[in-house]
Amino acid sequence: MVSPTSEQETNPEVSSGKTDQKDFVYDSKVEGNIIFTRVDSAINWMRKNSLWPMPMGLACCAIELMATASARFDISRFGAEVMRFSPRQADVMIVSGTVTYKMALAVKRVWDQMPEPKWCIAMGACASSGGMYRSYATLQGIDRLIPVDVYISGCPPRPEALIEGLLRLQREIDKEESTKGLKAEPKEEVVKGLAI
């Protein structure tokens, strides 16, 4: 039988198997765990690293858009892997392909259903300028219908070009003022209607 040592007899923590664990109320390294930033910078950082694209694949550029989400190009490295086919859950519309007048109203309707803030990427020559189609049935650029933030050239553009377009959009989002207008003054007619 092993007899207890003198330390185990005098210190109940040692005899119960506990070591020198102390509950610290104050962490001396707290200075390294604090980040100072502006609200705009924090919001823009969150927005640019969690882009949820709404793929509007209308023609051959859509195949390149699909390839961008594959394992070879891995669009998820940039936080844009969550392709949402519901406009109410997306914030970036990627228009890839020829936009005809017949589809233009459907594209506009989907764009209007997307919540703010939202951005648009025109992928390929047809979405940017109508491409080689100078006909009565083709819209000569999606920018005649909705505002475009990034244009990607090519026919069709490679997946690397789409990734470069997403990175350019992220740089543009980083420069935005996201809190501007949050505390705007109420409009005159609203104030007059509330007057007692």
Neighbours of 150 (CB within 10 A): 22
Global confidence as pTM: 0.72
**What's the whole-number mean pLDDT along residues 11-36?**
55
- Mean pLDDT, all residues of the chain: 79
Question: For 147-187, what is each residue's pLDDT tens digit?
Answer: 999 999 988 899 999 999 999 999 998 888 877 665 555 55
Question: For 44-66, what is each residue's pLDDT tens digit?
Answer: 888 888 889 988 888 888 888 88
pLDDT at 12 over 70: no
pLDDT at 133 over 90: no
What residue ranges do the domains of the chain occupy?
Answer: 41-174
Neighbours of 41 (CB within 10 A): 11
- Residue listed under structure tokens 């007692």: 196
Neighbours of 110 (CB within 10 A): 18
121 or 30, which is more confident: 121
pLDDT (0 to 100) of residue 190: 45
**What's the whole-number mean pLDDT along residues 108-120?**
91
pLDDT (0 to 100) of residue 94: 92
Out of 3.40.640.10, 3.30.70.890, 3.40.50.12280, 3.30.300.30, which CATH number does the structure's domain 41-174 have? 3.40.50.12280
pLDDT (0 to 100) of residue 196: 47
> Residue 148 has which token pair?
């475009």
Query: How sure is the predictor about 123, in pLDDT bands with cuts at 50, 70 and 90?
Result: very high
Neighbours of 79 (CB within 10 A): 16
Neighbours of 19 (CB within 10 A): 6
pLDDT (0 to 100) of residue 120: 93
pLDDT (0 to 100) of residue 80: 81
pLDDT (0 to 100) of residue 39: 82
Judge whether 68 and 157 are in contact, CB under 8 Å: no
pLDDT (0 to 100) of residue 176: 82
